[in-house]
Amino acid sequence: MSKKKYYAVRKGKCVGIYNTWDECKSQVNGFSGAEYKSFSNLEEANEYIYGKKESKIAYNGNTVEAYVDGSYEHCIKEYGSGVVILKDGNILKTYSIKGNDEFLVTMRNVAGEIEAAKLAMNYCLEENIENLILYFDYEGIEKWCTGAWKTNKSGTIEYKAFYDKVKEKLNVKFVKVKAHSGDKYNEEADKLAKKAIGI
């Protein structure tokens, strides 16, 4: 059985970590000055993209990983949130929760993604965990927090305010993964989000 590889695109159409060479190739082909490399270790792939010195995450005993995803069912106007929290490859906690907040429901599955990210961060605060590596497939999960995207809806404004409080106690490293790419835990988070609303 071949060893799993992580393909890190540092400069390309969409910066991120990909699970297959074909996905990586689609991000760098035709892109002038593309920078990419394969790794057998996820930590090294992250360091290649984000830089070791710039990273606030210390990979120590007080670090967990979380995969988050969201779903939406228009018939019942409810969104679902799925979360898988891991440490050293072992699942510590999962969440499969639905919601129908009137201010969030208009955002459909994105509402589920936002709530999933908040669940993961809250778990870390409750368990006194210092570092969280958050894997997501919708880029707003990171960009609303960092200010790269404007928060122009009540749901995103509240999410940014939530993160601004959380970051005082928790170091969060955001890592974008490709949706439905076969990543085991990303797929599990997707299933949990759908299960919450009966899909």
Residue 38 sits in a domain whose CATH number is: 3.40.970.10
Alpha-carbon dihedral sign for residues 139, 141, 146, 150 = positive
- Report yes or no on 58 lying in a domain: no
pLDDT for 104: 81
- Report yes or no on 71 lying in a domain: yes
| Contact indicator for 100, 78 with CB cutoff of 8 Å | yes
- Are 111 and 167 within one domain? yes
CA distances from 151 to 32, 115, 156, 158, 162 (A): 32, 15, 5, 9, 12
pLDDT for 83: 96
pLDDT for 26: 92
Residues facing residue 86 across a β-bridge: 65, 91
- Are 144 and 108 within one domain? yes
pLDDT for 60: 58
- Are 68 and 41 within one domain? no
- Are 90 and 188 within one domain? yes
22/24 Cα distance (integer angstroms): 5
The closest of 132, 169, 164 to 151, measured between CA atoms, is 164
pLDDT for 59: 55
- Report yes or no on 45 lying in a domain: yes
Q: What is the phi/psi pair of residue 165, to 5°? A: -75, -40
Q: In what order do the strands lie in the sheet with 16-18?
A: 16-18, 6-11, 35-39
CATH number of the domain to which 151 belongs: 3.30.420.10
Tens of pLDDT, residue by residue, the chain (199 residues): 457 788 988 888 888 888 899 999 999 999 888 889 998 888 788 778 766 544 445 555 688 999 999 999 888 889 999 999 998 888 999 999 898 888 788 889 899 999 999 999 999 999 999 999 999 988 899 999 988 888 888 889 999 999 999 999 999 999 988 766 666 788 899 899 899 888 8
Q: What is the 3-state secondary structure (H, E, C) of 72-129?
A: EECCCCEEEEEEEEEECCEEEEEEEEEECCCCCHHHCHHHHHHHHHHHHHHHHHHCCC
- Report yes or no on 57 lying in a domain: no
pLDDT for 64: 93
What's at 185, amino acid-wise?
A: Y
Domain that holds residue 71: 63-196
pLDDT for 133: 93
- Are 34 and 68 within one domain? no
pLDDT for 178: 74
